[in-house]
Amino acid sequence: METKIIEVKRGKDIPEIAGVAGMLREGALVAFPTETVYGLGVAADRDDSVRKVFQVKGRSSMNPLTLHLPSVDLIGRYVKKIPEDAVKLIDKFLPGPLMLLCEKTDSISDLVTSGSQKVGIRVPRNSIATALLSACETPVVATSANISGRFSPVTSSHVIEEMRGRIDAIITCPDEEALGIESTIIDVTSNPFRIARSGFVTQEEISRVLGFSPMLSNDNHSTHFEKFSSSLRIILIEGDSERVIRKMPALAGTFPPECRTGFLLTEESASRLGAGHPVKVMGSRRDIEGIARNLFSQLRAFEHEEMTVVLVEAITKDGLGWAIMERLVRSAAEIVKAD
């Protein structure tokens, strides 16, 4: 399959979008940027195309897709009820990196929801995504634009690397920006509400808006997460910075000579580590959002360099750190305490 690479720029008037929207209506699989990670979208009313998404990703048909809308005003068309407290979340966080799990109407195919009567609703905060979804004039369902189990794609180059030849089109953007971590999923059909997947919007932020704390699922057992599959053996090192800095070189020295070992560190720890180590910086401990933006890209970079093992410094679990650490724990082959 030939994949069209379509470059656009952010803004209100995007002339190329009309053509891409036409492709979607005709059943094409199209990758497009969102404010979280790149999405792979198809027309929700094209069951043949929906099936292709599962096929090209190698994704289980029991792992549902998400309805993406250009405006919060359209949510009521596709769900049976929006609880009063859910309206508070919509007003505060949408458009943005929050997904609502709601009871669906019959207009949404069971194929999209994997047989569930709940559908995930996203309203992206990205001008290109909004323009594309608006121009489609039909609901679009999407998931991350990567092979299932791979690190989520944060840039168009990640998508081209994995999806060229598999899908119909990839929208690229020279001034693209992404938060680097997936949306938070909150189930508003449960009482109390339940966070089904941690993401960019934190439990603390949600609690402040609702006036109560939603339940928090055990993310490691969530159906909204797939097991990471990587050529890297990731070892997560927990402990204070001083101990981590001492532990990493010592641990690396225990591996066979042919083992290529890289270190993924915070800016503060990297500045204090001795020379001669292959180090990448995830960001500053004072900028957890920066770490979220860099995490997947740096791990992909280690894959390109054919590293065997990557030793990763653990970060705080406060706020957004919880979601980042969840992903690191899930990707790790081993967790080591630095003492």
Place of tokens 């094209």: 46
State residue 45's pLDDT score: 94
Angle value at C-alpha 325, between 321 and 329, nearest 5 degrees: 175
Among the three residues 171, 192, 221, which one is the final residue of a domain in this structure? 221
Within the chain, strands assigned E span 4-7, 30-32, 39-43, 66-68, 98-103, 118-122, 140-144, 169-172, 184-187, 194-197, 215-216, 233-238, 261-266, 279-283, 309-313, 334-337
Same domain, 256 and 280: yes
Measured CA to CA, the distance from residue 92 to residue 86 in angstroms comes to 10
Same domain, 26 and 156: yes
Residues 42, 91 contacting (CB under 8 angstroms): no
Same domain, 164 and 20: yes
Q: 126 lies in a domain? A: yes
Q: At what angle do helices 84-93 and 203-210 cross, to 10 degrees?
A: 120
State residue 216's pLDDT score: 87
Give pTM, 2 decimals: 0.93
State residue 52's pLDDT score: 97
Same domain, 18 and 144: yes
Same domain, 291 and 330: yes
Q: 226 lies in a domain? A: no
Among the three residues 197, 221, 245, which one is the final residue of a domain in this structure? 221
Among the three residues 195, 221, 247, which one is the final residue of a domain in this structure? 221
Domain encompassing residue 270: 233-337
Same domain, 26 and 140: yes
Domain tally, the chain: 2
Place of tokens 């280690």: 302
Q: 254 lies in a domain? A: yes
Q: Which CATH number fits the domain that encloses residue 158?
A: 3.90.870.10
State residue 218's pLDDT score: 65
State residue 230's pLDDT score: 81
Measured CA to CA in angstroms, residue 245 lies from 117, 254, 281, 292, 314 at distances of 49, 15, 13, 21, 12
Residues 239, 314 contacting (CB under 8 angstroms): yes
Same domain, 163 and 251: no
Residues 6+ apart with CB under 8 A from 112: 44, 50, 64, 65, 67, 119, 141
Q: 282 lies in a domain? A: yes
Q: 164 lies in a domain? A: yes
CB atoms within 10 A of CB 59: 20
Residues 6+ apart with CB under 8 A from 61: 54, 111, 114
Provide the residue-wise pLDDT of the chain in tens; the chain has 339 residues: 899 999 998 766 788 899 999 999 999 999 999 999 999 999 999 999 999 999 999 999 999 999 999 999 999 999 999 999 999 999 999 999 999 999 999 999 999 999 999 999 999 999 999 999 999 989 999 999 999 989 999 999 999 999 999 999 999 998 878 889 999 999 999 999 999 999 999 999 999 999 999 998 865 444 555 656 688 999 999 998 899 999 999 999 999 989 999 999 999 999 888 767 789 999 999 999 999 999 999 999 999 999 999 999 999 999 999 999 999 999 999 999 998
State residue 276's pLDDT score: 73
Same domain, 47 and 182: yes
Same domain, 189 and 295: no
